[in-house]
Amino acid sequence: MDPQQLSERLTEFLQRLHNARSVQIEGLRLLTGGASRQTWSFDAVIEDADGQRRTLPLVLRSDPRPSPGLMTREVEYRLLKAAGEEGVPVPKVHAMGDDSLGMPFFLMERVEGETIPRRLLRDDIYAEARASMAAQLGAILAKIHRVPVERHGLDVLPAPPPDRAPAEAELDRYEQTYRAITPEPHPAFELAFRWLRQRLPESSRRTLVHGDYRIGNVIFGPEGARAILDWELAHIGHPMEDLGWVCVRSWRFGNDDLPVGGVGTREEFWRAYEAAGGAPVDPDRVRFWEAFGNLRWGIICIGQAKAYLDGLGRGTMPPGAQMELGSIGRRIAETEWELLKLMEKG
Amino acid sequence: MQDRPTYDELLAAVERFLDEEIVPNSEGARRFHGRVAANVIRIVRRELEREEEQLAGEWAGLDGLLGPAEQPQGRSALRDAIAARTEELCGRIRAGEADSGPFRAAVLAHLRRAVRDKLLVSNPAWLEEKTS
């Protein structure tokens, strides 16, 4: 759908939704996305029945093409709504979509701020945010893990089978993916699968898990975190999975001595997590999940390389995005290196 | 043999063009992809410089783990043979042979070298870990 047509349909949708006299869409632009999943930003100037005008900064999340296996926009909407109601800083949902756009969609409010991690790590204006970020993220994560899943109808999220421990189920899932897609052998991953299997935590604890909790998915300002984004990998699982993932070295952007996103120590993150009502943190267990996080990121990199190789020279993605996808294949070695270091410690 | 400029000299020109003309004069996704492109050129330049030496080193490492074998002629045949022997190594790891003992230590040492070689090409900065 071209922007003109999208703008017209959005206007009609918002007019009905707000019972408005008129609606104008301004500054519509594509933020991210390819052919199947898109995120658009725009301002809606709404004139209500009494002639009062107000401007709503909004974001459209839409699926021009069905993407099987990925979280539906309806579930994502429900998840953001639940998180917001439970005190997690997220963009406030504005409206669930209907058939107005001819594709699944929802609208949420646009949160202003910065998302580029290097700015947070280097720029003077974020000094205060940098100092408080690790503790803030720890406290927010505790809130995410305390979201009552059933009360919000979130039991539709992917979950490990009832009779399996989440760690084992997740490891199986990623090993199957690895075996199905890898174009090349990776002995470091073979060692890691065995190493992790010998250390599987038996805990059957289950909570909402964000699934991609890291510094690159935070909107922040000079004062600190404003919203947690990218909930598409959320699932039911073991809460320590998120605590391991947040420390994967690939999200430290060169500040290797500060494992939590290059801004803080594990200990300050864990203290804030526990103080905000998170379960007591067992460092050995988090170490399992951090190793798993490296393996998982490595397998995701293989997936991106594979997608590039499968679509070489064709496909609907612009060439620049294809090149980016292909180049991610050369990041697999970073995760192998981290896994070897972890395994050498015993 | 080709005339000058060499492939490395040509790639250096592409790299500078991307870094100094495309990136500063683009915005958003194009600027970002300009950076990615320049980085891809750097990866390729490092790989062309090191590939021969790295393949020979990896072959010698596999000889040490799996027993000596005759090294195939030609770079492409050598790459295929290394992949096949690495798959053999994976099979032995899956069978539990590298779970402990001297074979585990030897496998870890071999992989440290092989992965280090990959990083020297893809992202040398990864090897310089900052520690407090």
Which residues of chain A have a CB within 8 Å of the CB of B90?
Answer: 185-187, 190
Q: What local confidence, expressed as pLDDT, does residue A277 receive?
A: 96
* pLDDT over 60 (residue B132): no
* pLDDT over 80 (residue B25): yes
Q: What local confidence, expressed as pLDDT, does residue A314 receive?
A: 66
- Listed range (A30-44, A272-286, A294-308, B88-102) with the worst mean pLDDT: A30-44
For B116, the closest chain A residue by CA position comes to A337
Q: Establish if B100 touches chain A: CB-CB under 8 angstroms.
A: no
Which residues of chain B have a CB within 8 Å of the CB of A257?
Answer: 130-132
Q: What is the sign of the dihedral through the CA atoms of A86, A88, A94 and A98? A: negative
Same domain, A133 and A260: yes
Q: What local confidence, expressed as pLDDT, does residue B29 receive?
A: 83
What is the rounded average pLDDT for all residues in chain B?
Answer: 96
Which residues of chain B have a CB within 8 Å of the CB of A185?
Answer: 83, 86-87, 89-90
Same domain, A41 and A154: no
| Cβ(A88)–Cβ(A140) below 8 Å | yes
Hey, which residues does A41 pair with through a beta bridge?
A: A29, A59
Q: What local confidence, expressed as pLDDT, does residue A172 receive?
A: 96
Residues contacting residue A161 through CB under 8 Å, at least 6 positions apart? A169
| Cβ(B71)–Cβ(B78) below 8 Å | yes
Q: What local confidence, expressed as pLDDT, does residue A102 receive?
A: 92
Same domain, A124 and A102: no
For B131, the closest chain A residue by CA position comes to A257
Distance CA A109, CA A61 (A): 11
Residue ending a domain, choose from A93, A109, A125: A109
- Total number of domains constituting chain A: 2
The 10s digit of each residue's pLDDT in A121-169 is 999 999 999 999 999 999 999 999 999 999 999 999 999 998 899 999 9
Domain containing A32 — which CATH number?
3.30.200.20
Is the predicted ipTM greater than 0.85, yes or no?
yes
Residues contacting residue B96 through CB under 8 Å, at least 6 positions apart? A194
What is the rounded average pLDDT for all residues in chain A?
Answer: 93
Residue ending a domain, choose from A81, A109, A137: A109
Average pLDDT of span B59-77: 96
Same domain, A121 and A101: no
Same domain, A212 and A269: yes
| Cβ(A134)–Cβ(A261) below 8 Å | yes
Helix or strand holding residue A225 (H, E): strand A224-228
Same domain, A68 and A189: no
* pLDDT over 90 (residue A318): no
Q: What local confidence, expressed as pLDDT, does residue A313 receive?
A: 60
Distance CA A191, CA A73 (A): 37
DSSP character for A249? G
Confidence of residue A185 (pLDDT cuts 50, 70, 90): very high
The 10s digit of each residue's pLDDT in A237-282 is 999 999 999 999 999 999 999 999 999 999 999 999 999 999 999 9
Distance CA A206, CA A273 (A): 17
Q: Assess if residue B132 is contained within a domain.
A: no
Confidence of residue A204 (pLDDT cuts 50, 70, 90): confident
Confidence of residue A67 (pLDDT cuts 50, 70, 90): confident
Which residues of chain A have a CB within 8 Å of the CB of B121?
Answer: 330
Q: What local confidence, expressed as pLDDT, does residue B131 receive?
A: 62
Q: Which amino acid is at B46?
A: R
Same domain, A102 and A122: no
Residue A69 backbone class (left: φ over 0; alpha: ψ -120 to 50; beta: rest)? left
Q: How far is CA A29 from the centre of its chain?
A: 21
For B126, the closest chain A residue by CA position comes to A334
Same domain, A93 and A164: no
Domain containing A246 — which CATH number?
3.90.1200.10
Which residues of chain A have a CB within 8 Å of the CB of B107?
Answer: 187, 191
Q: What is the sign of the dihedral through the CA atoms of B7, B9, B13 and B16? A: positive
Cβ pairs bridging A and B (under 8 Å): 88
Please answer yes or no on whether B111 and A333 come within 8 Å at the CB atom.
no
Q: Establish if B132 touches chain A: CB-CB under 8 angstroms.
A: yes
Average pLDDT of span B9-21: 98
Q: What local confidence, expressed as pLDDT, does residue A35 receive?
A: 64
Same domain, A102 and A143: no
Q: Assess if residue B63 is contained within a domain.
A: yes
- Total number of domains constituting chain B: 1
Average pLDDT of span A320-343: 95
Please answer yes or no on whether A194 and B93 come within 8 Å at the CB atom.
yes
| Cβ(B129)–Cβ(A259) below 8 Å | no
| Domain membership of residue B64 as a residue range | 7-127
Please answer yes or no on whether A340 and B108 come within 8 Å at the CB atom.
yes
| Domain membership of residue A210 as a residue range | 117-344
Please answer yes or no on whether A257 and B89 come within 8 Å at the CB atom.
no
For A195, the closest chain B residue by CA position comes to B99
Q: Which amino acid is at A249?
A: R
Residue ending a domain, choose from A109, A141, A166: A109
Q: How far is B50 from chain A (nearest CA, A)?
A: 16
Average pLDDT of span A217-234: 96
Q: Where are the beta strands (DSSP E) in A4-140?
A: 22-33, 38-47, 53-62, 93-96, 105-109
Same domain, A316 and A333: yes
Please answer yes or no on whether B89 and A327 come within 8 Å at the CB atom.
no
Q: Establish if B77 touches chain A: CB-CB under 8 angstroms.
A: no
Q: Assess if residue B122 is contained within a domain.
A: yes
Average pLDDT of span A23-31: 93
Same domain, A80 and A182: no
For A327, the closest chain B residue by CA position comes to B40
Same domain, A148 and A100: no
Q: Assess if residue B2 is contained within a domain.
A: no
Q: What is the sign of the dihedral through the CA atoms of A55, A56, A57 and A58? A: negative
Distance CA A198, CA B99 (A): 10
